[in-house]
Amino acid sequence: MALSPYFPGHGDPRYGVAHYDLDLRYRLSTNWLSGTATLSARTVEPLVDLELDLGPFRVNSAKVDGVGVRHTHRAGRLRVLLDRPRPADAPLSIEIAYAGRPHPVASPFGGVGWEELTDGAMVASQPTGAPSWFPCNDRPDDKATYSLTVSTASAYQVLTNGAPVARRRAAGATTWVFAPTEPMATYLASVQIGRYQTSEGLACPARLAGKARHDFGRQSQMMALFTERFGPYPFAGYTAVVTDDDLEIPVEAQGLSIFGRNHVDGRRGFERLVAHELAHQWFGNSLTLARWNDIWLHEGFAAYAEWIWSEASGGESAAELAARWHQRLSAMPQDFTLADPGPALLFDDRVYKRGALTLHHLRTTMGDTAFFSMVRAWTAAHRHGSVSTAAFLAHAPSELEPLLSSWLYGRALPRFP
């Protein structure tokens, strides 16, 4: 698949990765990360070299199929020269040992990726932050499974995408071993390190536990509602992580969502965001865009899930929220197309809300029974896979393609249904 023009400096389409095995050691006092990444890959075409995305770490060694190979590393790209040419469809085991001080990757939306906290560390990589902490083929369509081993100071808890299967303590450090995950895109891989109290799908600082338990207390009801409307929950578990720092916005990872302490007020003042991030487990994490221009398939569905939760929990109905947002969007510039907003508008609120309005128009036209049946069939057909706007149009009733096209490809905002 051709790479998205949004981030042309990321990813190598000439090969794919099936599995990442990451063995990491992190020293909080100096923000020092060292690790060995072993990638189980397969060539797509004949290769004499390949490229990985990796931030400004020192690369100590590179091996392919156990043989040391030459490499060059500059401007975030690690070029590995194969010891011999490989044909198409050939398996490769790529092992990279590296070390350095991780920091966020610059993006049009600020720094993304590994970030030091006041007392810990977090990873929130959307869209291009994965190279801030491990060498990868940074393409959203190249989904792989992951095994993670993380060693850090024993006073801290480690959370990642997989389930913890072992913990070993020695000399003031604890090594956490996590089971392989379901397939996921590189930007959804995550590590959270902090002094967390964990219970019932929530990890937070002890001092925030009372307020946080209240604010996130209806996650199980959300889970039941979304399972009914969207289909079975796609992963083994889910945890909302509240850091002891302020964050501009919450961010989803696979099986995790990361919130700042500023999103906890003890009054459920940010509950719509709790619903939004949970919905991303279906739309974004299980069903992941193949190209970044299709971001509405993530954010439109997650924004609409906020409205679905609102009406189910006694708040405003989806129709009321849709009417209000249509009025607001009508007064805003209509200078983009939803199915290809451009990298600068990737996370613009107009994309989120126009995506939600698209789905609401589809729902009002089809009726609830047919609409949610279609959504459940969509999540089942593409579970743990890659999706596109073209695939969604093919999935929706063919007679509704003109309606969808007006929302997805026209710049002018369609009339409110």
299 is in an annotated binding site: yes
Rounded CA Rg of the chain: 22
DSSP codes, 248-276? SS-EEETTEEEE-GGG--SS-TTHHHHHH
Which residue do the tokens 């700042």 mark? Answer: 260
73 is in an annotated binding site: no
| Dihedral over Cα of 289, 295, 301, 303: its sign | positive
277 carries an active-site annotation: yes
Q: Which amino acid is residue 241, in one-letter code?
A: V
Q: Which amino acid is residue 263, in one-letter code?
A: H
Q: Is 109 helix (H, G, I), strand (E, B) or coil?
A: coil
Neighbouring residues of 415: CB distance < 8 A, sequence distance ≥ 6: none
409 carries an active-site annotation: no
Q: Which amino acid is residue 141, in one-letter code?
A: D
Catalytic pick among 156, 196, 304, 352: 352
Instruction: Tell me the C-alpha distance between 262 and 265, whole Å.
Output: 7
Q: According to DSSP H, which parts of 127-218 are helical?
A: 209-215
> Is the Cβ–Cβ distance between 23 and 73 less than 8 Å?
no
Cα angle: 284, vertex 287, 290; to 5 degrees: 85
- 3-state secondary structure string, 328-344? HHHCCCCCCECCECCHH
Which residue do the tokens 């003031």 mark? Answer: 172
Instruction: Tell me the C-alpha distance between 73 and 254, whole Å.
Output: 29
Give the tokens for residue 407: 């929302």
Catalytic pick among 15, 277, 304, 306: 277
> Is the Cβ–Cβ distance between 111 and 105 less than 8 Å?
yes
What pairs with residue 38 in β-bridges?
Answer: 21, 95
Instruction: Tell me the C-alpha distance between 34 and 60, whole Å.
Output: 10
> Is the Cβ–Cβ distance between 166 and 105 less than 8 Å?
no
Q: Is 187 helix (H, G, I), strand (E, B) or coil?
A: helix
280 is in an annotated binding site: yes
The annotated binding site is made up of: 276, 280, 299
The annotated binding site for Zn(2+) is made up of: 276, 280, 299
Q: Catalytic residue numbers?
A: 277, 352
